[in-house]
Structure 1
Amino acid sequence: MSVFSASIYLFFLVVTTSSLPRGKQLKCGYENCNLGKAEMVNVHLVAHTHDDVGWLKTVDQYYYGAKKRIQNAGVQYILDSVIKELLEDPNRRFIYVEIAFFWRWWHEQTDSMKHVVQRLVDEGRLEFILGGWCMNDEATTHYSAIIDQHTLGFDVLSSIFGECARPKVAWQIDPFGHSKEMASLFAQMGFDGLFFGRADYEDILNRIGPKELEMVWKANQNLGASSDLFTGILLNGYNPPPGFCFDELCTDDPIMDDKRLQEYNVDEKISAFLAWVELKSFTLKTKHLLLTMGSDFQYSNANAWFKNLDKLIYHINKKQANGSNVNLLYSTPSCYLYSINKANITWPTKKDDFFPYADRPHSYWTGYFTSRPSLKQYVRVSSSFFQTCRHLDVFGDLQNHIQIFKMWDALSTAQHHDAVSGTEKQLVAYDYALRLSAGTDACQSILNAAYKKMIPKTETAFPDQIFCNLLNISYCQATETMKQFTLTLYNPLGQDVADYIRLPVSSNKFVVYGPNLKPIPIQIVSIDAATQRIPEREESIANYELIFEYKIPALGFATFFVKTDKNENNKASSKEILIKKGEAFELNNGLVSISFDGVTGAMKKFGNLQSNIFTNLKQDYLYYIGYPGHNRSPADQASNNYIFRPWNNTPISISNGRNLQSVLIKGNCVQEVRQVFSPWVTQSVRLYKGQNYAEIEWTVGSIPIDDKKGKEIIVRYDSGVNNNYTFYTDANGRQMLERRINSRPTWPITMDEPVAGNYFPINTKMFIKDLNKDMQLTVLTDRSQGGSSLKPGQMEFMLHRRLLYDDDRGVGEALNELGVDGHGLIVRGKHYIYLDKVQTSTEFHRQQAIEIFLKPTLSFSQLNMHPQNWSSTFHTQWSAIQSPLPANVNLLTLQQWGRHKLLIRLEHIFEKNEGPLSKPVTVSLKTLFIPYNVTLLEEMVLGANLKLSDLHRLKWKMKDNFAFPDAVTVKSHDSLDVTLSPMEIRTFIVTFTKRKEQF
């Protein structure tokens, strides 16, 4: 048990199982499974509930059962009722998934009830499946947050119940499409299998005939068999067979088996059930069938369910005496998996993913790739900040588990498939944001506490740090009101980092000094009109932005000093030139050039000056009109949160061919052009000094709906790169997947939506490669978005959506987000454009995507002494490691895991065959950290809930005998050296001793 978890439970007055006697050693896991009867068709009845961690109601409302008028659902009553009914019959079994809810319920229970639940877990009668804090989305989630949210759930289960509660099967029954990287992560967590309920309706139809609803998913070509995962598609989603829903929320008749009553219906019920079993048996390869008996928020009256299931089992199994070969049993997904593994047959394989998903014609669930873009960005930024928070908890030796948990809980909850996905009601979206805000506040208190221990050289108290959470819209009260202040940045990367910062200020006269007290070149620009009109910054008094370059050591901080400049002739202010109509112009920083057309003012050509590679590059903002249907038929399907369905597949240009209003700014830090495409769409195209890529900051909103038409806004980059309809998107920020228009690798698709059906999730990047030249055009994003390459040379990204019709997938309201002023929400984001040879482009997008995600954390304080005195009193620069990590290695996790123990994950960020940096790399942990001496490594599975040496996954025979080569690496238990192969993540619990001199 980690000290981390124990502290959380003690805080909430929870008695952990350290105080619960285990009694005799009980068998659990596969050894406790009922495998059915040989030569019979064994129907594994899986009693379950699917409890969304927020959707139509907030997490709290779902747990307590509030707001019944919205949805009749109360999770606490489900768990109360199920435990009571499991005790009535030792044959009954039940699975539970969402640990965010179970954890709440557990800490409310008495000691005697905890003993009861412990026994049910040990006997396999209550089994935890998946085990994450939630059932996360797979399209819009970043791999770092996926790992973190599962680690939290796993650690809670391990701390309470021990090994018997370790999940063996992933259960992704409700997410809307399934990611190859997600499957790879599950395999690395030690899961033996994965089951889900949603796949494209045509994909399912094509799998039924050849009995390929179950397969071995070869999820990562870089990792070999260690990433293979048995995967099954549940034919009936996750619902019971028609006519056999026995929940209070259902209208199906119960089983009435008293022959004295007129409503006796056993014979017809049995016949209908056996017909369903026979129908489903044609789709599977073994004599074992898995039937889900439950659905959303069911079992609040578990007696109704179990009483009828008992009858169903009794009456069908009684027919065996008359020759029936059907055998019903209470089971779990893991026991079903173990049963079919024992069948020892050969399975088909799959090497691609399950995106996009459509549940019927004209109904592609590709809208949620972009829905609620501001929330998607908030989740991404919060995940990055969580890394900093954990780092400084370690380096400050705070052991502040309660504050860490607040952020961990909020961030993990936000990964739910109706959270970051943007498919929740508006009030629930507000609740997710509120939780992230509270978690952010908790982590900011950790940074303050850590800095007070780490930064002072003397007994002088380090001043409280001020944080600015709205810098993305150029609003920061600290920088706007203080005449002189410090800026401290913490770098969570294992490599040194250099970039530029923009701070909103109310004056155009400043000087900046670096950590070495030497002046730094700066530039001051006005805040553009598009930013000024954002209603959320109405209290801002800033009219300018102060720009300068920062350099921060790996895993370290640096302090900069900003002071008002009394020199009236400040030369840092930029000149702004209004481009006249018909005048061509260019941005050129010596590394990149961007030329703009003299007639339209639009982007025209993009060039890499170092590699001498150029391409025509036109750019425009356009919108699709969302289909205004009422969902009475597939042809009447509306576009909304889940579904993207344009009224017309040809989008409308927002600029409509008009000459763009452009302002050119050039200075000693950045060159930029500000362009107005319409009153509600603007952008700034920037080239910073010394950077070999372009930054495009877009601002979209308020999207007009005066014409009663919902709109879906895209940006399109139209280049001269000949990619012939092939493009590449990332899976959760890691593997790159090849996509091709109007094509699916495993079945001949009927493409009834040529735009929406060709959209894919873009978590961090998309690129296209020229078929005839060594040239690649790459676009990196700052949040998850949907996009595609619909024509040769094109890449389009959906940025924002405002719609007026519900899409009939449960939410019951249109996606019409409003700002504080009551008008449509304004959203701002960034794209990063890079053009180069293929190998160099790969190195760029692998490293730059990590840097975009793990941006430094900024904090400010009043500068109340001369910088020289500050430098004598406080450290102005510090790094936690002896030397930066190799360029292909990322420190994915660094977290307290008990006294003198750390949880550390290292990852290789490249795939195989991506150039010199794709080779295996070795890192020594022995003396890596300056404050610590590492004395012992204990390697764990990815979720940190099992020693890797104790992992023994089920083996499967595969149809094509194809196997990716295993990762070649060194895993010595006697060494403190860690060798990483491409795409490998290695997880360790590290024991350390402190050095005397830490700071």
Structure 2
Amino acid sequence: MLLATSGAWAAGYETCPTVKPGMLNVHLLPHTHDDVGWLKTVDQYYYGLKNHIQHASVQYILDSVISSLLENPTRRFIYVEMAFFSRWWKQQTKATRDSVQELVRQGRLEFVNGGWVMNDEGATHYGAIVDQMTLGLRFLKDTFGSNGRPRVAWHIDPFGHSREQASLFAQMGFDGFFLGRIDYQDKSFRKKKLKMEEVWRASASLNPPIADLFTGVLPNMYNPPKNLCWDVLCEDPPVVEDPQSPEFNAMTFVTSFLNVAYFQKYYYQTDHTVMTMGSDFQYENANMWFKNMDKLIHLVNEQQANGSQVHVLYSTPTCYLWELYKANLTWTVKTDDFFPYADGPHMFWTGYFSSRPALKRYERLSYNFLQVCNQLEALAGPAANVGPYGTGDSAPLKEAMAVLQHHDAVTGTARHVVVKDYARQLAAGWEPCEVLVSNALARLSHYKQDFSFCRYLNISICPVSQNSDQFQVTIYNPLGRNVQRMIRLPVSEGIFFVKDPNGKTVPSNVVMLPSPFSEKYLWELLFSASVPALGFSIYSVVKVTSSKTLPHSLQVIPRKPRSHVLVIENEYIRATFDSGTGLLMKIENMEQNLSLPVSQGFFWYNASEGDEVSLQASGAYIFRPRHLTPLPVSRWAQIHLLKTALVQEVHQNFSAWCSQVVRLYPGQRHLELEWTVGPISLVDGWGKEVISRFNTPMKTNGVFYTDSNGREILKRRRNHRPTWRLNQTEPVAGNYYPVNTRIYISDGHQQLTVLTDRSQGGSSLKDGSLELMVHRSLLLDDGRGMGEALLDTENEVRGRHLVLLSSVTDAAARHRLLAEEEVLAPQVVLAPHVGSQYYSRTAPKMEFSGLRQDLPPQVHLLTLAHWGPKMLLLRLEHQFAVREDSGRNLSSPVTLNLENLFQAFTITHLQETTLAANQPLSEASRLKWKTDTGPVSYPTPSKLDPTSVTLQPMQIRTFVASVQWKKLS
């Protein structure tokens, strides 16, 4: 027998059923696919409420499955979503828990994937993916030990698959990955070429096999074969095996089953094939399923006496994978991704990249705040959880954020009422984290204040700053390096003085802006803050006068019949506008002597409602424009100019529902475009998909680049797929890709990069052009199950695009570091200027850093979080790819001393783990697959030296640290 590497013979493989060599072994995979919210809320799905919307109850599914497994020792079942299973587990008796423990130990109940949810792969950030997987896998480890550890990743429903997702799964220790949905043309090609199963080489930087993952495409997505569905939700007849019955149909089932089995074998390379026996929320009456499968297994195997070469058995994805491994074949290698996904001509699932942009932004903001909450809990120690502001807790926000990664949550593909419930869960998670952050800041600053979290700064609302004559601004920086940040706070009319942590007055401005909600004006206070790495700075603000004549306000620029130019600039960037149209004309990088004509404006695609070519309409999932050319929201903009010592802005008003501010701060090497779109007008009866488009004369040869979940960069080519010949039926939608943090074009000399503040769909449909979809509101459902139109007419959505023009040699450093600052922006906390000492004998600490020195620019602190009593979870990553940065040598390995890294605590013991922290790295091993690219090396892990931890390009290293907090009083 061919053995796996040392340690791979764990419960998942040693409990596998016996197969029959020389026969076609058909692995039946009993499973249920349980969406963590979609047509109903998470709670409605769990308890079985509102079954008139969708008949589904997860608690009854799990009850029924466990009972059925206990009836027959050959039966098996797999389960995926820990958001549901953990809730069910808490409600069980000891006797039931003991039975489940034994089922898991015997491999009869097997967990696959094991995350809190089955996350989306298009609209998700890699940090949030890692967090949600860690949460689910930790529950399994704490509950079932090593017996509960999944060996197989299982993404049967996400709408396209990212390369970064496969890389993360490989680094988590998974042996294989099974997919349900891939493009219909890709699937047809794979069947013909026998490439339904390959090794996915999911990183261009990590040395194989670190990011190699065996990946298989399931034959029937995740549904049962035709006529073989025996659930209460199905209409197929049961198996009648009694030949005396007039309803006898056993042989019909046998014949149908054998035909399916032989048909599937034709497209796969081994004597093994799988059938997914289950679907959405099935097995509420598991007895129906298992009783009929028991009969089918007996009847089919009985045919072996008559010469049949088919053997059918209850199995699991892990056991199927084990048989593929033992076949000892050489597999082809895949290096691209599975985007975009289409399930037929004119049916590209690229709309969800942009659906519900307000929810996508709230999710990204919540990720930012969760990392702040995690870090302060780690830095302050137990005092963060129980302190002067009450009991703080990071767990509710961790769970809410994990739920939001579900493939119908952050995607924007759930019904409106469910989207509101997702937002409710996030809001509920923020509250105990705000208490925790308040406790931690009080302890670390030695100063108790009436902290206030201004959740509506994006729309210039903050009662503390608007109603107080003096207040303090605490700014926490979650990055491992010092940041300079322009702080903008809504205030009442007047003049203010701002002092830094040392009591020195810093330059500030109060600017007058038009209110987006009324004809009145708003006032905002601006000052530049310097915040240390992993720490905070406290600034003091005092109002000194209520003068009615402010020095800085908007200057209306009238349209000129003849165009002349308008310029905003700082020491690095100059942006030129045509005052006749109000539109951007040119961007110059004066530091690098680069100049590029760039026009930018807003356009909208008329959403298809179906036509003579196809009845497919645009909807929450699918993007299908009626025409290839979008219409301009307006060909000109009314503009206002604002120039002060601290900011220069051009305010552009395109229509009643579309406006933008183009902004430059001193010292800033990028242009900031803050857009406001919505509520989108539908009075003309046309659904609209709104884009921001940048046009340049750059010669890009059909090539553009997008990030993969915020990490590695992938090359895209218009109307092209790297591994199969594309018949392009939708030249717009078929060229859209997910953009999680950035998209760029290059002519080999200079590069234009646009960074986003949330996930969006984007493309380059013409050479020198970039576009990003910022909002969409539609009139029809797209027929993919949601059952309602994406009528997003309530939301005015505000967002930011950061635009970089730089030389190719310098571009990677610029966009990597700027993206890091955008995802993990400083957290601003306000308080009236009245407080008290935390300790009786210590003065307030106005500035604090959790690090002894800044991290090198290559290194990102991905995770610093509480893990257990006197234990922290620590992840450090090298955020540059191999050969990505030649200008500053940032693609080189970097070495850190972890023992001397942190100020707030001392590391007393360090253990390195796999990425999801559910296995010690020293004990982890994965199956070794042979590929047609030749052998790869398997270096022996060296002994961990905390004083010398080296990170290779794109490497993430995860540690569980035992710590001792230092006395700060």
Task: Identify the TM-score tier after normalising by the shorter chain.
Answer: over 0.9
Give the aligned residue type for 2:614. A
Q: 911, 920, 928: which one pairs with 1:955?
A: 928
Query: What is the TM-score with the length of structure 1 in the denominator?
Result: 0.93
The one-letter amino acid paired with 2:600 is Q
Match of 2:689 in 1: 712
Q: Which letter maps to 1:429?
A: V
Give the SS at the match of 1:493: coil
| Identity percentage of aligned residues | 48
CA distance in 2, matches of 1:177, 1:583: 47
String of CA shifts for 1:442-483, please: whole Å, max 9, x gaps: 110101111222212xxxx61221011111111112211112
Instruction: Please name the residue that 1:17 is paired with.
Output: none
1:375-403 Cα shifts (integer Å, max 9, x gaps) = 00000010111011011111221274972
Aligned 1:629-648 pairs, distance under 5 A: 629=610, 635-648=614-627
The match for 1:991 among 943, 947, 962 is 962
For residue 576 of structure 1, report the CA deviation from its aligned partner. Answer: 2.5
Tell me by how many angstroms 1:962 deviates. 7.8
Aligned to 2:775: 800
Cα separation, 2, equivalents of 1:888 and 1:571: 43
Residues of 2 paired with 1:748 and 1:372: CA distance?
Answer: 32
Other-structure match for 1:361: 345
| Residues in 2 aligned to 1:449 and 1:877: alpha-carbon distance in whole angstroms | 16
1:232 aligns with 2:216: yes
Q: Which residue of 2 is the match for residue 741 of structure 1?
A: 718
Q: Select 2:146's aligned residue among 160, 163, 171.
A: 163
1:397 corresponds to which of 356, 363, 381: 381
Q: Which residue, 344, 352, 355 being the options, matches 1:371?
A: 355
Instruction: Report if the CA contact (8 A) 2:450-2:835 is conserved.
Output: no
1:95 to 2:66 alignment? no
1:102 maps to a residue whose letter is F
Match of 1:49 among 6, 29, 32: 32
* CA 79–578 in structure 1, closer or farther in 2 if over 3 Å, else same: same
Alignment partner for residue 591 of structure 2, among 610, 632, 635? Answer: 610
Q: Deviations over 1:739-764 (max 9, x none)?
A: 00000001111111000000000000
Q: Which one of the candidate residues 661, 668, 677 is aligned to 1:691?
A: 668
Deviations 1:102-150 (A, max 9, x none): 0000000001111000000000000000000000000000000000000
Matched position secondary structure for 1:645? coil
Deviation larger for 947-956 or 519-528:
519-528
Offset of residue 210 of structure 1: 1.5
Q: Secondary structure at the match of 1:87?
A: helix
Query: Shift of the alpha carbon at 1:972?
Result: 3.1
- SS of residue paired to 1:948: coil
SS at match of 1:337: helix
One of 22, 31, 47 as aligned partner of 1:64: 47
Give the counterpart letter for 1:256 in structure 2.
Answer: V
Kept in 2, the 8 Å contact 1:971–1:978? The answer is: no
**Residues 740 and 641 of structure 1, relative CA distance in 2, 3 Å threshold:** same
Question: Counterpart in 1 of 2:568?
Answer: 587
User: Contact (CA 8 Å) 1:131, 1:154: kept in 2 or not?
Assistant: yes
Aligned to 2:895: 922
**Contact 1:177-1:198 within 8 A present in 2 as well:** yes
The answer to whether 1:340 aligns with 2:324 is: yes
| Cα distance change, pair 971–908 in 1 and its aligned pair in 2 (3 A) | farther
The CA distance in 1 between the partners of 2:637 and 2:716, in whole Å, is 33
- The answer (yes or no) to whether the contact 1:728–1:737 under 8 Å persists in 2 is yes
CA–CA distance in 1 between the matches of 2:961 and 2:691?
46
Residues 103-252 of structure 1 mapped to structure 2, 5 A cutoff: 103-224=86-207, 225-252=209-236
C-alpha distance in 2 between matches for 1:654 and 1:699: 13
Q: Distance in 1 between matches of 2:45 and 2:613?
A: 31
Which amino acid in the other structure matches residue 609 of structure 1? M
Secondary structure of 2:622 counterpart: coil
1:972 matches 2:943: yes
Counting matched residue pairs gives: 948
Distance in 1 separating the partners of 2:834 and 2:41: 45
> Can you give the 5+ residue segments of structure 2 that lack an aligned partner in the other structure?
1-8, 386-390
For 1:158 and 1:272, how far apart are their aligned partners in 2? 41
Contact 2:493–2:546 (CA under 8 A) maintained in structure 1: no
- The separation in 2 between residues aligned to 1:872 and 1:858, in whole angstroms, is 24
Deviation string, structure 1 residues 624-662 (Cα, Å, up to 9, x no partner): 0111139xx97010001000000011000111x3x4211
Which residues in structure 2 correspond to 1:539-554 (within 5 Å)?
543-554=522-533
Alignment of 1:80-91 (within 5 A): 80-91=63-74
Q: Secondary structure at the match of 2:587?
A: strand
Give the SS at the match of 2:321: helix
Residue 415 of structure 1: aligned partner? 405
- Give the match for residue 313 of structure 2: 329
1:454 maps to which residue?
Answer: 444
Whole-angstrom CA distance in 1 between matches of 2:548 and 2:842: 31
1:501 aligns with 2:487: yes
Q: Alignment RMSD, CA only? A: 2.0
Query: Deviation of residue 876 (structure 1)?
Result: 0.7
Q: For the residues of structure 2 that align with 1:474 and 1:634, how far apart are their CA atoms?
A: 47
Are the equivalent residues in 1 in contact too, given 2:554–2:640 (CA < 8 A)? Answer: no
CA shift, 1:858, in A, is 1.1
1:556 corresponds in structure 2 to: 535
1:284 pairs with 265, 268, 275, which one? 268
Look up the match of 2:859.
889
Partner of 1:261: 245
Tell me which amino acid in the other structure corresponds to 1:815.
L
Structure 1 residue 548, shift from structure 2 partner = 1.1
Q: How much does 1:969 deviate? A: 11
Give the one of 774, 785, 788 matched to 1:813. Answer: 788
Aligned 8 A contact 1:922 1:980 in 2: yes
2:808 paired residue among 838, 860, 864: 838
Distance 1:634 1:198 in 2: 24
Query: Structure 1: how far apart are the matches of 2:864 and 2:430?
Result: 18
Tell me how far 1:573 sits from its aligned partner: 2.9
Query: In 2 relative to 1, CA 575–265 (structure 1 residues): closer, same or farther, beyond 3 Å?
Result: closer
Tell me which residue corresponds to 1:11. Answer: none
Partner of 1:30: 13
Q: What letter matches 2:541 in structure 1?
A: V
Q: Does 1:935 align with 2:908?
A: yes
Instruction: Write out per-residue CA displacement over residues 408-437 of structure 1, whole angstroms, 9 at most, x where no aligned residue.
Output: 110000000000000000000000000000
- Segment of structure 1 superposing worse, 560-569 or 254-263: 560-569
CA contact (8 A) 2:354 2:775 kept: yes
The one-letter code sitting in structure 2 at the alignment partner of 1:619 is: Q
Which amino acid is the alignment partner of residue 329 of structure 2?
A: I
Partners of 1:311 and 1:294 in 2: CA distance: 16
Q: Deviations over 1:323-344 (max 9, x none)?
A: 1110001000010000010000
Distance 1:849 1:200 in 2: 30
Check whether the contact 2:570–2:667 (CA below 8 A) recurs between aligned residues. yes
Deviation at 1:679, TM superposition (A): 1.4
Distance 1:525 1:873 in 2: 34
Report SS of the residue matched to 1:454. helix
Q: Contact 1:506/1:542 (CA < 8 Å) preserved in 2?
A: no
Note the alpha carbon deviations across 1:596-643, whole angstroms, 9 max, x for none. Answer: 12432211111000101000000110000111139xx97010001000
Residue of structure 2 in register with 1:666 after alignment: 643
* Conserved? CA contact 1:970–1:978, under 8 Å: no
- Residue 657 of structure 2 aligns with an amino acid whose one-letter code is W
Question: What is the SS of the residue equivalent to 1:618?
Answer: strand
Superposed, which structure 2 residues align to 1:623-634 within 5 Å? 623-629=604-610
Secondary structure in structure 2 of the residue aligned to 1:396 = helix
Larger displacement relative to structure 2 (333-342 or 496-505): 496-505
Distance in 2 of aligned mates of 1:979 and 1:709: 56
C-alpha separation in 2, matches of 1:960 and 1:922: 31
Please report how far the alpha carbon of residue 841 of structure 1 lies from its aligned counterpart in structure 2 after TM superposition.
Answer: 1.2
Correspondence list, 1:403-442, <5 A: 403-442=393-432
Q: What is the alpha-carbon distance in structure 2 between the residues aligned to residue 975 and residue 636 of structure 1? A: 61
TM-score of the two chains, using structure 2 as the length reference: 0.96
Distance in structure 2 (CA, Å) of the matches to 1:906 and 1:203: 36
Secondary structure of 2:369's partner?
A: helix
CA contact (8 A) 1:348 1:958 kept: yes
